[in-house]
Amino acid sequence: MHALLLYCRPGFEKECAAEIQAKAEKLEVFGYSKTRPDTGFVSFTPCHADSTAMLHKELRFADLCFARQMLAVLPLIGDLPVNDRITPLLEAASGLARQFSDAWLETADTNEAKGLAVFVRKFEGPFLRALLDAGLASQNKNAPRLHVFFINSTTAYVGLSKPGNSSPWPMGIPRLKFPRAAPSRSTLKLEEAFLFFLGENPKSLRPGMKAVDLGAAPGGWTWQLVKRSIRVVAVDNGAMDRELMDSGIVEHVRTDGFRYLPPKPVDWLVCDMVEQPSRIAALIARWLAGGHCRQAMFNLKLPMKKRYEELKRCRDIIEATLDEAEVPFRLAFKQLYHDREEVTGYLLRL
């Protein structure tokens, strides 16, 4: 293995590179990142070649906020023959593992790569058939996953990811369909957050639970809770969607989200308020420290500059508050596909 390859949101390469650098150094792996603005990916190359496999094994994908996908790759393969790209790609893949549980042919999530995606879709069928004929395909779901990440039609990274320590979606993007009944597209942010942090069938989202949605109007996040038959107190001075209110399990409280507290503890707090990220972090921490909720899903609207530093600051605020209150917790952040200049946090009181 030569390097780690991380996919990210275009425009966040700097933050992704700073994060992988910091995480690697904590594991005493030193190296350098390569990236260019708005390319949608970052490569991190350890100074010692044998450190790549160790880093890929020890580093938890869930602990990376800005990475959509994480894989270990061979050196970049260039000048692929136009009349036979498959042979050199298969040769490279055969040196990575005996067999693969799946094979994903991918590009960066950029406007520039949209034309390249057309080529990749046409190339995918013949490549997968060749992979099967070569005996490199496996029915074992725990086997590594093969990735071919095209920079252009004749240049690609070949690498692998480990199911359970990587994104379960090609390009790190869940293909969610906007539900017509939802009052705003922000609903997809919470749907993706539930999928990423809790999985396909979460036990922590059960009918009859109680939740508070701070900054709820018009109800995109409330809709996801109501869909799961969870009773919601929607806190916002703005108007809520009429159909949501007709559900009979939503109470609209017109007040400031920073002032509201529930009379009794609730199962969930969700929050997508447009406010300084440090204020949101302190608010969420107070709710859990005070025992007002068991779990929280929230968004932090990051500034245009020093976004990674601001995220670390928010993490420190939450950790310090809960440590002082002697509350055990689990905290994770991820910049999801449906996020923009923001990241989503998940906080659980243990």
Whether pLDDT at 65 is above 90? yes
- Mean residue pLDDT across the chain: 96
**CA 61, 63, 65: angle at the middle one, nearest 5?**
95
- How many CB atoms neighbour CB 71 within 10 A? 27
Range 3-172 has CATH code 3.90.25.10: no
Which structure tokens are listed for 43?
Answer: 């490569």
* CA 294/CA 302 separation, integer angstroms: 25
Whether pLDDT at 50 is above 90: no
The answer to whether 301 is a known catalytic residue is yes
What are the tens digits of pLDDT across the range 90-111?
A: 999 999 999 999 999 999 999 9
Half-sphere exposure of 283 (CA within 13 A, CB side): 26
The residue type at 293: C
Say which residues have a Cβ less than 8 Å from residue 229's Cβ, sequence separation at least 6.
207, 208, 249
Q: Which of 14, 34, 301, 312 is catalytic?
A: 301
Q: For 129-154, write each residue's pLDDT tens digit.
A: 999 999 999 999 999 999 999 999 99
Say if residue 292's pLDDT is above 90.
yes
Give the residue range(s) of CATH 3.30.70.2810 domains in the chain: 3-172
pLDDT at 348 over 90: yes
Average pLDDT of span 112-119: 93
Q: How confident is the model at residue 200 (pLDDT cuts 50, 70, 90)?
A: confident
Helix and strand numbers, DSSP H then E, in the chain: 9, 14
pLDDT digits (tens, 9 = 90+) for 33-46: 999 999 999 999 99
Secondary structure (DSSP) of 115-161: HHHHHHHHHHHHHHHHHHHTT-B-S-TTSPEEEEEEEETTEEEEEEE
Q: How far apart are CA 149 and CA 290, in angstroms?
A: 47
Q: Pinpoint the residues of the chain covered by CATH 3.40.50.150.
A: 187-349
Gap between the Cα atoms of 251 and 240, Å rounded: 10
Pick the CATH number of 187-349 from 3.30.465.10, 3.40.50.150, 1.10.3210.10, 3.40.30.10: 3.40.50.150
